[in-house]
Amino acid sequence: MKILFAAPENAWGGFLGLLRAEIPEHQYEATGGFKVDDLKGVDVLIPTMCRITDDILAQSDKLQLIQQCGSGLEGVDIKAALARDIMVANVPTDISGNADSVAELGIYFMIGLSRNVHQLAKSLSEQRMGEPQGRALGGQTIGIIGLGGIGRALIKRLKPFGVRLVGIKRDGREAAKNELGLEWVGGSEDLKELLAISDHVVLALPVTAESKNIIDADALSAMKKEAFLINLSRGGLVDHDALKEAFAGGEIAGAGLDVFWEEPPDPNDLIFRYNVMATPHIAGSTDVSMRGIVKGVTENIRRVASGRLPLFLKTD
């Protein structure tokens, strides 16, 4: 089978090379960039960050499976794919080790922002020892929006820090509260309550029509002025312009961003002039996560090659 990787050859920690080593019997091709120009002859598409529209799918003549190398499928027109009898699957964060890796980066952001990491190099160069004074993570309130694989992994790792944990979940809130040991779990209608009490607001939910720009100007104005926003999920959850305006107006203290409104982001974007810890979408890019994702993608390609249904298929 021909497998098309919609990214540069060595992107995502050399994912394509790892996949090729697992199942060398197939033909592999990388597009060289985050784009798809031609699907002719392709059996399996790994879309990475590319938008896969119906117009692109119309070019395919034998595509059987769109298999994401991770969990995010917001760029894929799943309905259009299914209408063309093309299967769509991902590798859920909680089975690949991805959620654990993302959670670790979330804690890195929390500690870095609380300890004024942006000021440390300046203090050191100016020989100002003991400055700046930071805030201990213990005792802070962490508000987690989205209690799926990433949210749960984050909760597990945060408990030893002695923080107060609250969350937002679409359904099954009481069960989640009891199972995860959270102080409070609300629904989407309770978002502003969570924002008002949290020292760190963590986004760990997928982008949908309902969640797009969930952090808009109103949401940002509801946050504490000394609070931090951490986005571990997708850039589309945050209104880019509203975030810049919130920084300019002193409405929030800082942000930890692993994902952006466009990827890669413009390095000259004004947002980076503020107290922003930024990483290039590497939250899930670890040795553990990569092994788990390669394992999941390998299994589904083997299933398609042998005429079996892949795992973790999307139905709508």
Catalytic pick among 152, 173, 200, 234: 234
Can you tell me whether residue 81 is helix, strand or coil? helix
Nearest Cα residue to 293 out of 116, 100, 40: 100
Find the DSSP H helices in 97-208.
98-114, 117-125, 149-158, 173-180, 191-197
Do 196 and 174 meet the contact criterion of CB atoms below 8 Å apart?
no
Marked catalytic residue, from 183, 226, 262, 263: 263
Q: How many residues does the chain have?
A: 316
156: left (phi over 0), alpha (psi -120 to 50) or beta: alpha
Q: pLDDT grade, residue 151 (50/70/90)?
A: very high
pLDDT for 228: 99
291 in catalytic set: no
Domains, the chain, with CATH or none: 2-90+286-305 (3.40.50.720), 96-278 (3.40.50.720)
pLDDT of 196 over the 90 cut: yes
pLDDT score of 316: 81
Nearest residue to 142 (alpha-carbon basis) of 122, 121, 128, 159: 159
Distances (CA, A) of 135 to 32, 115, 132, 138: 44, 6, 10, 9
Cα–Cα dist 200/109, whole Å? 10
Q: With a cut of 90, say whether residue 84 has pLDDT above it.
A: yes
Residues 6 or more apart whose CB falls under 8 angstroms from that of 81 comprise 52, 57, 66, 87, 88
Instruction: Quote the CA–CA distance of 242 and 249 in Å, as a whole number.
Output: 10
Q: Is 234 a catalytic residue?
A: yes
Q: Which residue has the higher pLDDT, 71 or 296?
A: 296
281 is catalytic: yes
**Quick one: what percent of the chain has pLDDT higher than 90?**
84
Q: Which residues contact 241 (CB under 8 A, 6 or more apart)?
A: none
Give the phi and the psi of residue 164 in degrees, each rounded to 5: -95, 125
Closest by CA position to 227, among listed 147, 73, 121, 114: 114
Residue 192 has pLDDT above 90, yes or no: yes
Q: What pairing do the DSSP bridges indicate for beta strands 200-203 and 184-186?
A: unpaired
Each residue's pLDDT tens digit, 243-280: 999 999 999 999 999 999 998 899 999 999 999 999 99
What pLDDT score was predicted for residue 184?
A: 96
Residue 55, number of CB atoms within 10 A of its CB: 9
pTM (two decimals): 0.88
Q: What is the mean pLDDT of residues 86-112?
A: 94
pLDDT value for 191: 98
Confidence grade of residue 121 (pLDDT, cut at 50, 70, 90): confident
59-72 pLDDT, tens digit each:
999 999 999 998 88
